[in-house]
């Protein structure tokens, strides 16, 4: 069923694009059906999975190579699946009204559902390599979603930055997965988690393996110092921002850490890395959020801060921490998703997201104000919201740490309380300033397009679910919270959740944080003014951009130095370097001794004739004055090689060589027929001598490689296997059978490379004939429009 659900979402992507949903008034409701089907099925599994049941599915791709798609649904993957599919359905409905009749709606749905498929595959995968494939699927589709507005330079830059940061982290993570698979002897996640934790922690490669995996998780979940990409990704359309950065993509790193928690939680390296990185990210994101004036920017940095909280909780190996993690993930998704959607509706209605221009929106949009109030109070952590329950559990983790006698527990408690105060401050900013204050400090934006009730409905549904959960704890706590917490902890978890536990130290600390947050909100203007003095160059974005600019500059200068020489010189350097490595290996390890070659054996007459013929044809090719003569003589070289195969009883090879030579000759003639003749300048003698010397060295290199491969093979030859199994492959020509059967994947790869190269060449040739197109985002110059049209870009550089 899991594979079927993934296929349903994957097929829905092109289907919705082809159906052109912009022509339908309520297309969002139709688009929401596939994720609603997934959500409904997952809800039916809450009971069995809550009782410990695990659903496994496998699709074998290649049994010989051990390639299979393993899917596994336990408490944690069910929990994340509900978030991905449930909020995805709300986003699908919202997007239908957000884009209205824009022709890009179908394209957006296609990207959204491909991302949803990748995200669900990621959380359901039971194989490290499959998880990595889906992980990269989320990176690619998120890049396309962030850069959705192709005419917006900020969107393109934000997408590029996100792809570079998360892509580099993914490569590091892949290296960590390979080491993890080698240490554990399997790439199956459930099999690795079944091993004793000291299998990993006591291994010599544990530290580099863990660091590589953490790099992938930290970059994906925007942890310090990789946090800067997430705010830049807010240039994406609001439905994409709400989905990627509140419930799905940024939670992928948290999911990975939670999934591997049982195996690594006993490591001190794991504990201190997650605690420090998560704590710094938590405080830094909350502080920077107060500096912002754009609604989506405030929410972006608030997301960074909340992700830091989740990573910090994963440092602990306790039942309370696992429960706080699960509560925090769901609470964040159910209040941050609606708040992102609210920001989009405000932008859609007023044309701005600048809070300095917003005021009094509650009168014009009361339903939206109600949703903002529910979600904002939950983000602030006020009783009796879901956010309050999550914050109480978080503070309880640090109280337990402090009670254990560790003085650092008090530091963690203070940091968490301070972060909670900042949560209150910027949550009140988001509620008060756009909706309830009377006047804006700058030119106030008017509501030009009031949203319909159906447009606001996804906001109310998500905020309503988050509001209702604290009052339904007895019904949902076992399947919705206990099962994922048990998967994180690696042991059964017993829950007794309640909104009110009396006047406990945790509750009093929470009240203190709320009071401090109210004070910060009251003094928000001087606080924001102080933060505004910080230079942008000190931000992560500025540092990253400077680093990339310097990297591009270094690459440009290196290219000018290396590629400034003629092509023949560049090729000569490459070939001489390869030959040098061979000669060093040969003479340093005495490879040429005892090769078993009888150098005294005389060649036969026809061998001498063919060798001389090939050499003469090669010399004619080099000295030929006309292209046709060079092509014909080059064909003679191939013909000599073909005759050698014939005399050595290899008709299959000879036939293949003949076909290749004919095809090459035809292609060369056709290509050179289209290229205008050029006057060939005479080559100086010193350069000719250099070319001759390089040719002799490279020829020696090729001869040495062939000799070593034939006389000193590293492994047993497989040629006998090919010969014995030609008929089993239903072929008569051994070369054809090897190419299309035994080495079919190699041939497919070579064909793919040739097709890509051909497309690239065709694009370059076409580009030289096309007139330059003006950037639509740049204003046209009337003076320039009167000038005659420019010539096609060809000429000198074409």
Q: Which residue in 221, 286, 224, 227 sits closest to 257, CA to CA?
A: 221
Annotate 394-408 with b (16+ C-beta within 10 A) or e (fewer): bbbbbbbbbeeeeee
273-287 pLDDT, tens digit per residue, is 999 999 999 988 888
- Across the range 488-495, mean pLDDT stands at 84
DSSP assignment of 29-57: HHHTHHHHHHHHHHHHTHHHHHTT--EEE
Residue 445 pLDDT: 83
Distances (CA, A) of 769 to 273, 790, 798: 55, 12, 8
- Across the range 412-430, mean pLDDT stands at 89
Sheet strands (E) in 63-216: 67-73
Residue 781 pLDDT: 46
Which range has highest mean pLDDT (361-375, 515-529, 772-786)?
361-375
- Across the range 327-333, mean pLDDT stands at 91
Q: How confident is the model at residue 591 (pLDDT cuts 50, 70, 90)?
A: low
> Looking at the predicted structure, is the pLDDT value of residue 583 above 90?
no
Which residues have a Cβ under 8 Å from the Cβ of 232 and sit 6 or more positions away? 154, 157, 158, 161, 162, 541
Which range (72-76, 283-287, 390-394, 769-773) has the least confidence?
769-773
Which residue carries 């994947």 as its tokens?
745
CB neighbourhood size of 416 (10 A): 24
Burial of 195 (0-12, 13-18, 19+ CB in 10 A): middle
Q: Which residue in 275, 313, 160 sits closest to 228, CA to CA?
A: 160
72-130 pLDDT, tens digit per residue, is 998 899 999 999 999 999 999 998 888 887 888 888 899 999 999 999 999 999 989 88
Residue 119 pLDDT: 92
Q: How many residues does the chain have?
A: 798
Handedness of CA 191, 197, 200, 202 (dihedral sign): negative
Q: Whole-number mean pLDDT of the chain?
A: 83
Residue 87 pLDDT: 92
Q: Give percent of the chain above pLDDT 90.
A: 21
- Across the range 782-788, mean pLDDT stands at 43
Q: How confident is the model at residue 770 (pLDDT cuts 50, 70, 90)?
A: low
> Looking at the predicted structure, is the pLDDT value of residue 425 above 80?
yes
Determine the Cα–Cα distance for residues 713 and 130; give it in Å rounded to an integer: 35
Q: How confident is the model at residue 796 (pLDDT cuts 50, 70, 90)?
A: very low
> Looking at the predicted structure, is the pLDDT value of residue 209 above 90?
yes
Under a CB-based contact definition with an 8 Å cutoff, are residues 389 and 484 in contact? no
Residue 309 pLDDT: 92
pTM of model > 0.85: no
649-662 pLDDT, tens digit per residue, is 778 778 888 888 88
Residue 651 pLDDT: 80
The counts of H helices and E strands in the chain are: 36, 2
Which range (34-43, 61-70, 550-559) has the least confidence?
61-70
**340: its two tokens:** 């992102």
354, β-bridge pairs? 294
Which residues have a Cβ under 8 Å from the Cβ of 191 and sit 6 or more positions away? 184
Q: Which residue in 157, 146, 143 sits closest to 542, CA to CA?
A: 157
Residue 594 pLDDT: 59
- Across the range 215-241, mean pLDDT stands at 86
Determine the Cα–Cα distance for residues 625 and 633; give it in Å rounded to an integer: 12
- Across the range 774-778, mean pLDDT stands at 46
Which range (117-126, 234-243, 732-741, 766-775) has the least confidence?
766-775
- Across the range 519-544, mean pLDDT stands at 71
Under a CB-based contact definition with an 8 Å cutoff, are residues 483 and 330 in contact? no
Q: Give percent of the chain above pLDDT 70.
A: 90
- Across the range 203-225, mean pLDDT stands at 91
Under a CB-based contact definition with an 8 Å cutoff, are residues 330 and 312 in contact? no
Q: Which residue in 173, 349, 333, 334 sits closest to 260, CA to CA?
A: 173
Which range (286-290, 470-474, 583-587) has the least confidence?
583-587
**328: its two tokens:** 């925090």
- Across the range 28-37, mean pLDDT stands at 89
> Looking at the predicted structure, is the pLDDT value of residue 786 above 70?
no
Which range (17-26, 157-166, 262-271, 773-782) has the least confidence?
773-782
> Looking at the predicted structure, is the pLDDT value of residue 531 above 50?
yes
> Looking at the predicted structure, is the pLDDT value of residue 329 above 70?
yes
**773: its two tokens:** 């197109």
> Looking at the predicted structure, is the pLDDT value of residue 151 above 50?
yes
């Amino acid at each position: 069923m899991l594979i079927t659900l993934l296929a349903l979402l994957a097929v829905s992507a092109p289907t919705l694009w082809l159906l052109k949903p912009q022509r339908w008034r309520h297309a969002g409701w139709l688009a929401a059906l596939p994720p609603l089907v997934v959500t409904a099925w997952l809800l039916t599994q809450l009971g069995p999975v809550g009782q410990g049941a695990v659903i496994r599915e496998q699709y074998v791709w290649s049994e010989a190579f051990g390639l299979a798609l393993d899917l596994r649904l336990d408490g944690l993957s069910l929990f994340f699946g509900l978030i991905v599919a449930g909020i995805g359905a709300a986003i699908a409905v919202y997007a239908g009204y957000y884009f209205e009749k824009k022709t890009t709606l179908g394209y957006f749905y296609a990207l959204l559902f491909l991302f949803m498929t990748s995200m669900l595959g990621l959380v359901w995968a039971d194989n490290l390599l499959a998880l990595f494939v889906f992980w990269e699927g989320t990176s690619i589709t998120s890049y396309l979603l962030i850069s959705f507005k192709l005419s917006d330079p900020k969107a393109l830059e934000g997408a590029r930055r996100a792809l570079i940061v998360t892509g580099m982290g993914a490569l590091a993570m892949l290296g960590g997965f390979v080491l993890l698979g080698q240490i554990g002897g399997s790439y199956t996640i459930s099999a690795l988690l079944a091993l004793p934790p000291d299998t990993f922690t006591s291994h010599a490669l544990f530290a580099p393996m863990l660091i590589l995996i953490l790099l992938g998780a930290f970059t994906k979940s925007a942890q310090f110092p990789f946090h800067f990409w997430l705010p830049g990704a807010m240039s994406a359309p609001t439905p994409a921002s709400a989905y990627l950065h509140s419930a799905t993509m940024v939670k992928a790193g948290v999911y990975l850490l939670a999934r591997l928690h049982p195996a690594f939680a006993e490591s001190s390296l794991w504990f201190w890395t997650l605690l420090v990185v998560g704590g710094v990210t938590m405080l830094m994101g909350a502080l920077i959020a107060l500096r912002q004036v754009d609604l989506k920017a405030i929410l972006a940095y608030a997301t960074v801060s909340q992700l830091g909280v989740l990573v910090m909780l994963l440092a602990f190996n306790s039942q309370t921490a696992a429960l706080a993690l699960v509560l925090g993930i769901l609470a964040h998704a159910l209040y941050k998703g609606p708040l992102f959607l609210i920001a989009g509706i405000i932008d859609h209605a007023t044309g701005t997201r600048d809070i300095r221009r917003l005021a009094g929106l509650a009168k014009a949009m009361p339903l939206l104000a109600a949703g903002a109030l529910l979600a904002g109070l939950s983000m602030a952590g006020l009783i009796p919201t879901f956010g309050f329950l999550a914050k109480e559990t978080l503070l309880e983790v640090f109280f337990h740490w402090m009670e254990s006698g560790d003085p650092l527990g008090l530091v963690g408690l203070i940091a968490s309380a301070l972060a909670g105060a900042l949560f209150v401050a910027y949550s009140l900013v988001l509620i008060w300033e756009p909706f309830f204050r009377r006047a804006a400090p700058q030119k106030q934006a008017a509501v030009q397009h009031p949203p319909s009730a159906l447009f606001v409905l996804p906001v109310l549904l998500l905020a309503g679910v988050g509001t209702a959960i604290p009052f339904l704890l007895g019904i949902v706590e076992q399947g919705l919270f206990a099962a994922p917490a048990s998967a994180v902890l690696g042991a059964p978890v017993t829950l007794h959740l309640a909104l009110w536990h009396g006047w406990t130290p945790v509750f009093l600390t929470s009240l203190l944080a709320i009071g401090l947050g109210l004070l910060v909100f009251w003094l928000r203007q001087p606080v924001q003014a102080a933060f505004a003095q910080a230079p942008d160059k000190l931000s992560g974005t500025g540092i990253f951009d400077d680093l990339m600019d310097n990297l591009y500059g270094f690459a440009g200068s290196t290219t000018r130095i290396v590629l400034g020489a003629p092509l023949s010189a560049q090729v000569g350097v490459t070939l001489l370097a390869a030959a040098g490595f061979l000669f060093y290996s040969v003479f340093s390890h005495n490879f040429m001794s005892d090769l078993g070659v009888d150098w005294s054996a005389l060649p036969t007459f026809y061998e001498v004739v063919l060798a001389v013929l090939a050499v003469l044809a090669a010399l004619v090719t080099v000295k030929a004055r006309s292209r046709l003569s060079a092509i014909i003589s080059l064909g003679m070289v191939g013909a000599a090689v073909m005759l050698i195969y014939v005399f050595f009883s290899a008709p299959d090879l000879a036939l293949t060589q003949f076909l290749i030579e004919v095809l090459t000759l035809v292609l060369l003639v056709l290509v050179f027929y289209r290229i205008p003749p050029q006057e060939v300048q005479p080559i100086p003698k010193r350069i000719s001598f250099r070319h001759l010397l390089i040719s002799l060295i490279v020829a020696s290199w090729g001869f040495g490689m062939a000799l070593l491969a034939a006389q000193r093979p590293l492994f047993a030859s497989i040629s006998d296997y090919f010969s014995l199994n030609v008929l089993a492959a239903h072929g008569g020509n051994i070369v054809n059978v090897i190419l299309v059967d035994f080495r079919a994947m190699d041939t497919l790869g070579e064909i793919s490379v040739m097709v890509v190269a051909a497309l690239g060449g065709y694009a370059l040739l076409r580009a030289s004939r096309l007139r330059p197109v003006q950037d639509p985002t740049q204003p046209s110059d009337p003076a320039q429009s009167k000038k005659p049209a420019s010539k096609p870009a060809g000429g000198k550089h074409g």
